A and B are shown apart, each in its own frame.
Chain A
Amino acid sequence: MSPGTDGSTASTVRRLIAVSPPPWGRLAGALGLGVAASAATIGLLAGSGALVDKAATRPGLGAIAGLLAVVEVIAFARAPLRYAERLSAHDAGFRALAGWRVWLFDRLEPLSPAPLRTWRSGDVARRAVADVDALSDLYLRALGPLVLAIVVSALAVCVVGVLVPGTALVLGLALVVALVGAPAIAWSARQTDAERSAAGSLHADVVDLVQGAPELIAFGRASVQLDRIEGATRRLADSSRRRARANGAVTALVAACMGGAVTGVLVLAIDALRGHRLEPIMLAVLPLTALGSFEVVPPLAAAASGLAEVVTAGRRLLALDDLPRPVSDPADPQAPPTGAPEVRMQDATLRYGPGLPVALDGVSLALPPGSATALVGPSGAGKSSVLNALLRFWPLESGRAMADGVALDAMAQADARSLFAPVDQDAQLFAGTIRENVAFARPDASDADIDEAVRRAQLDEWVAGLPSGLDTPIGERGALLSGGQRQRVALARALLAHRPVLLLDEPGAGLDAEMAAALLDDVLGAAGERTVLVISHRREEIERFARVVEIDAGRVVGRRWGAAEPSASPPP
C-alpha cells in the first residue's frame, strides 16, 4: 500500500495552506522586496541606457545629474534588496514550516504507535519529518517565484505600454508564452513516481550489494547484482536525460520569446520615434526593459519541478490526515476506579487493519492488584499488542479490557492511561536533564519525591557521582546514557508517576543477562504495592514470576500460577 497518491496538485496545495496558514504579511514583504530587486535590475539597464542616450546629446552636466543620481542609487541598492529578499523569504518559509511541524505532531499523535504497523517497512516518523522539511520549498521555490514573475512582468508591460502603447501587446504576448510555456515544459518532465521509486530501488540494490557481499560471492551472484545496478543506473540516466532535454527546451523557448520581444519592441519604438510619439532618450529604454523583464522567467522552470517535489511530500503527509483515528473518547466517559484496580482482559481480539492477521485472538488474562505477572512468547506473538490494548493505543475488535469491572474504552483516554505506567523496550527518553525525565509524568513533583524514585530505581549512587547530579543533560533520546541507565531512568519515571500498574516491555532488551537480571530484581523490589506486568523472553527472568502467561500467534498457549518451577514444553 502506498498511501496518499491521489488528489490534484491544486487541491494538495490548497489543503497544505489550509492546515497551516503561512505568515501572509511576511510573504508579502518578501514579495515586495523581490519586486523591488527585479525592478532595480531592469531599471539599472534601462536607466543607464537612457543616461547615455541623453548624454550623447551633450546637454550639460545639470541636465543629466538627476538621471545619473537615479542610476547610481539603483546600482548600489539592487544587491542589498536581493539580499533582504532572500533572507525574508527564507524567514517566512521557515515560519510556515514551524506551523506544519506542529500540525504533523498533532496528526501523528492519535495514530501513534499504530501507523508504524500498517505501513510498509521504514520509519514513518522519520520519513514524515523529512517530508515536512521538503514543504519549505512551497513558498521559497514554487509559489514565490511564480507570483514574483507575474508581478514583475505586469510592471514591465505597463512601463513599455505607457511609452509606446503597441509595445505592451508585443512584450505581453512574449512574456505570457514564456511564463506559461517554461513551467509547463518543466512540469511535463518532472520526476515521475516510477522514476522516484527507481532511484529508491537503486539505493536499496547498492545497500544490498554492500551488506550482502558475502552471500553474493558465496552464491556466485556478484556480477548479476552489478548488472542489475548498472541497469538501474542506465534507466535513471534516461530519465535525467529527459529532464535535461526539457531544461534545454525551456532555455530555447525563453530565448526565442526574448529575441522576438526585444526586436518587436525596438521596431515599434523606431516607428514611434519617427512619428515623434517617443522622446529620443527613451529609445534605448524600451528594448532594454523588454530584455531585462525576462530575468524572472527561468526560475519558473525550477519552480515547477520544486512544486512537484512539494506536492509528492504533501500528499504523503495529507494521507496521514485521512487515516481514521483508531481511538476516540466516549461521549459520556465513566470515571476510572480509584486505588489499586484489578485489570482484566476477556476474549480480547485485536487487529491492526482490515485484511491483516489478528494480533490478539481471544486473549484472557487477569492482573490482580499487587500481583506480578510475566508475559512471554516469541516475537510477533502479540505481547506488545496487549500493552497497546491496555494503554488504549488501539481498540479491541471484540472482547473487553477492564479495570475493576469498568471497561477501559468507556473511560476518557487520559483516564484509562492514568492507571498504567509503561517502561518501554528502548526506554524513550527526551533531551533534557535526568530530573526533567524522571519528573516527566509529574512535572510538579517535589524534590523529595524525585529523590525517592531515583533511589528506588537504584540510580542514586550513580547520580550522586555526577558533577551536575540530577541536572545532568542526557542528550537526545538519552544518547549520553548507557542502555542500563536509560532503562533505570525510565523506571524512575514510571515509579514517580504514582500509577497503580507498571507495564514493562522487555526492560532487559539490549542489556547482558546479568544486568537484565539485576534490573528486574530492582523493578520487582521497587514496585511495592503496584501491580506489575513484564514482557520477557528470557527463561532465567521468567523464573522469578509466580504468574506466567505464555502467548503465541495472538493466543494464550500456557499459564502457570504458583510454583516458580521451569515449565515443560507449553501445551499446544
Chain B
Amino acid sequence: MTRLMMNQLNFSYGDANVAHDICLSVERGEFVGLIGPNGSGKSTILKNLYRALTPDSGSVTLDGDDLFSLSHKAAALKLGVVGQENDVPFDFLVEEIVAMGRSPHKKLFDIDNAHDRYIVHHALEHLGMADMAKRNYLHLSGGEKQRVLIARVIAQECDFLLLDEPTNHLDIGYQLQIFDYVKRLGVTVLSAIHDLNMAALYCDRIFVLKSGRIIFHGKPEEVLTPENIYDVYGVRCDTHLHPTTGKIAITFLPAGL
C-alpha cells in the first residue's frame, strides 16, 4: 500500500531551481533512501515534505490525503521528522526535549501525564539513554544529541519517519546504532543518507538525485552500480555482494590507482 506519493514537485530558491519534477513514492513499511552529492536537493525534498519549504508546484499525498491541506498538528501525528537542526540555545533537560515529541498529542490545556512520562522513559530506554534523562541537553556531545532527537521522534509515536542525514558527523558506532534502532522500530522511513554503504545496508529502495532531478531509482543492487556511481559522483569504485550481509558493498578507488 502506498503511503507517500510525490508527484512532479518543483521547488526553487529565487532563480535557482533545486528540485525538478520530483516523483517518488514510499510503500508501507519500506525503508527508502535519498542519495546524491552535496547540493543535489536531498534536504530540499525532505523540507518540502515536512513543510519547512513550500513547493512551487506539484502534489504530495500521505495515505491518500493531500499533505498540504492537513493541519500542522494532523501531519505531526503521522510524520515524524529528524532534521539537521539540533542545537537548542536554552537550558533543557534531555527528558524535556524528548517530552516535546508528545506535543502533537496534546490539547490546548493538557499537561504531561503519567502516560507521557512512560513513553518518554521508554523512548530513552530504547536508545540506551535512560540514565541521561536528567542531564542538560546543552552539555551533550553531537552523537548523544542526535540520539535524543531520535528518542523524541520515537516519543512522537508516528509510523512514518523523515530523516535528514540522521548520522551526519557521527562516528561509525553511532551510525550503525541509530540506523539499527530506526530499523527495529519497523516503521516506514524516508531518509536522506550521505554514506552509500549505509544506504546499501539499510534501504529497501533508493532514489538517486543529481542537480535536483531523480536520475535513478530502484533496489540498492540495481542502482548502486559502478557506472551509476561514476555518473553521479564522478568517482570510480568496485561493488560486490557482501557474503555476510547479502547487501551491496562499495569500495571506492582513488584516482591514482
Q: Do chains A and B stick together as partners?
A: no
Query: B interface vs A, CB < 8 Å?
Result: none
